[in-house]
Structure 1
Amino acid sequence: MSEFHTRLKYKKYVNVIFLFYIFMLAIVSFWGISIFQTRIHGNIGDVSHNINIVPFHTIETYLFNFQHYNFDTWFYNTFGTILVFIPLGILLPLVFVNLRNMTMIVLLSLVVSLIIETIQYVTLLGVFDVDDILLNTFGSILGFLIFTLIIKKSKR
């Protein structure tokens, strides 16, 4: 098989994985969180408590008051939020070759996260939290760093 055909086959697999990831991200972001009926700001249906626009407020609350939350809630709302965006930082530069710089990854992950948070707020399927945007973006940055390390190792 020629190198062109191998790359084309590889590209198809990466595209399928990327689409599957986006689908799973939507499920986790909108329907997966509905199993948690309350979060730090109260009931999901309570619009008055459906927003946090103070940077690091939620992060600080979870990190310094972790004993007040069960482990699943604490982990999901801190590290889970980071982990779910690591694949975005890895997959974006694989799918879109022109997105192989940190600035583009940060901007796109900020936009994707802002869209998710806004839809959660409008649909009442979650809490709009600026800290989620920060943690999601951090996750994408970690993913991009992993991608960069893999590329550097493969060129040796």
Structure 2
Amino acid sequence: MFFSESLGRTDLSVGYRYNLEPFREIYRCIRYWDVLGPLNASMNLIGNIVAFMPFGFILPMLCLSNRRWYIVFLLGLLCSLCIESLQLVTRRGSFDVDDLMLNTLGSLAGYWCFLIAARFRRQLHKKR
């Protein structure tokens, strides 16, 4: 969202760009790793995942009904869709279906971290 200009995704001189083809941007980052540079390519791929991990970690702590993986999945997808749609409407950043997938994966990764932390916490309290 904030770094798309540095990744060559929003050259407004040729018109607004968006991606509706799954895995297109992911493939581009992997294929042109050397051209984009490891920092920019990994920022796009890993950054989209890491950016949504707190969402998947904190959401189950806020409400007991959000402790099911599919709830975190759907809310992560919805939140990401809202952000991507806002980018499309405002033409700030670049709407990308790959970002939706990576952000949703990040929500699930945060949820898995929550499950690990909860299990560790239960074991710690059980020992006391």
Structures share fold, TM-score greater than 0.5: yes
More strand by share: 1
Deviation for aligned residue 1:71: 2.9
Cα distance in 1 for residues equivalent to 2:116 and 2:40: 31
Cα distance in 2 for residues equivalent to 1:72 and 1:140: 22
CA contact (8 A) 2:54 2:110 kept: yes
Q: Equivalent residue for 2:112? A: 145
- Aligned alpha-carbon RMSD (Å): 1.7
Instruction: Write the letter of the residue equivalent to 1:57.
Output: R
> What's the CA shift string for 1:55-113, capped at 9, x where partnerless?
00100111122011023321221111111111000000011221001100000000000
TM-score by length of 1: 0.72
Q: Equivalent residue for 2:126? A: none
Cα distance in 2 for residues equivalent to 1:152 and 1:57: 37
1:22-41 alignment runs, 5 A limit: 29=1, 33=2, 36-41=4-9
Q: How many residues are aligned here? A: 123
Q: Equivalent residue for 1:21? A: none
CA contact (8 A) 2:4 2:93 kept: no
Instruction: Write the letter of the residue equivalent to 1:138.
Output: L
Structure 2 residue runs of 5 or longer lacking an equivalent are 124-128
Q: 2:69 aligns with which of 99, 102, 112?
A: 102
* CA spacing shift, 1:52–1:36, aligned 2, 3 Å: closer
Q: Equivalent residue for 1:92? A: 59
Cα distance in 2 for residues equivalent to 1:38 and 1:79: 16
Cα distance in 1 for residues equivalent to 2:38 and 2:101: 21
Cα distance in 2 for residues equivalent to 1:101 and 1:139: 16
- Residue aligned with 1:85, SS: helix
% identical aligned pairs? 30
Structure 1 residue runs of 5 or longer lacking an equivalent are 1-28
Give runs of ≥4 in structure 1 deviating > 6 Å.
Answer: none
Q: 2:47 aligns with which of 73, 77, 80?
A: 80
Q: Equivalent residue for 1:55? A: 22
Query: Whose RCO is larger (CA < 8 A, sep 6+)?
Result: 2
- Residue aligned with 2:65, SS: coil
